[in-house]
Amino acid sequence: MRLILLGPPGAGKGTQAQRLVDKHGIVQLSTGDMLRAAVGAGTPVGLKARDIMARGDLVPDEVVVGIVSDRIDQPDARNGFILDGFPRTVPQAEALDRMLAAKGPALDGVIEIRMDEKALLDRIATRIAQMEARGEKVRPDDNPEALKTRLHAYRVQTAPLLDYYGKKGLLRSVDGMASIDAVAQAIDRALGVKMPAGGG
């Protein structure tokens, strides 16, 4: 299974991706995680991406396309993968189409997790407060200024993908305002996966 999860920052893409990984035995490919690892390791990609990410802007397409292309060639991605945070622009989606055309099975679907922007800001503020209360390190881009930029990037650069995948008949939208379990069930339904008996 090859899936894309689309949604603004704070929509719960990572949480839902993890659940799909456990359920379907596929790998989660999060470009945000890969870039943060590169920043942490101080690689050339990391040095290029660090300040851009801290501001909340998007890293150049060719950088992320290169990372994803290398990653989907790894043996653990052969069974399938779920892309979390990629593609984020139309040129990235076009590059992914070319990659998949060259490297095997096409996409099975694109799931949009739809969110109300006000609820999103409340949710992220709560997440930051909880992390701080636990003494955990907060992401450098989890601050009001960078969040504004991240939401703007989603609206302007990523939202056009809804139309891109809608036209291909691949897009399924679920209501991200519901509970984690309810969103998970909506994603299962969207993917046509049967619910376990009694599982709602």
Residues annotated as catalytic are: 13, 88, 127, 139, 150
Using CB under 6 A as the binding criterion, the count of chain residues that bind ligand AMP stands at 18
For the chain, report the end-to-end CA distance as a whole number of angstroms.
23
In angstroms, give the least distance from the CB of 157 to ligand AMP. Answer: 8
58 binds ligand AMP per the rule CB under 6 A: yes
**Spatial CA neighbour of 93 closest among 68, 118, 119, 120:** 68
Choose which of 9, 12, 109, 176 interacts with ligand AMP (CB under 6 A).
9
Residue (140 or 185) nearer to ligand AMP, CB: 140
52 near ligand AMP (CB under 6 A): yes
SS3 labels along the chain:
CEEEEECCCCCCHHHHHHHHHHHHCCEEEEHHHHHHHHHHHCCHHHHHHHHHHHHCCCCCHHHHHHHHHHHCCCHHHCCCEEEECCCCCHHHHHHHHHHHHHHCCCCCEEEEEECCHHHHHHHHHHHHHHHHHCCCCCCCCCCHHHHHHHHHHHHHHHCHHHHHHHHCCCEEEEECCCCHHHHHHHHHHHHCCCCCCCCC
Binding mask 92-131 for ligand AMP (x = CB under 6 A): x---------------------------------------
Residues 6+ apart with CB under 8 A from 175: 114, 182, 183, 186
Residue number with CB closer to ligand AMP (83 or 171): 83
10 interacts with ligand AMP by CB under 6 A: no
Q: Which residue is nearest to ligand AMP (CB)?
A: 32
Which parts of 161-190 interact with ligand AMP (CB under 6 A)?
none
Q: Is residue 53 involved in binding ligand AMP (CB under 6 A)?
A: yes
34 or 174: whose CB is closer to ligand AMP?
34
CB of 178 to ligand AMP, least distance (A): 21
Residue 59 sits in the site that holds ligand AMP (CB under 6 A): yes
List residues near ligand AMP by CB under 6 A: 9, 31-32, 35, 52-53, 56-59, 64, 85-88, 92, 141, 150
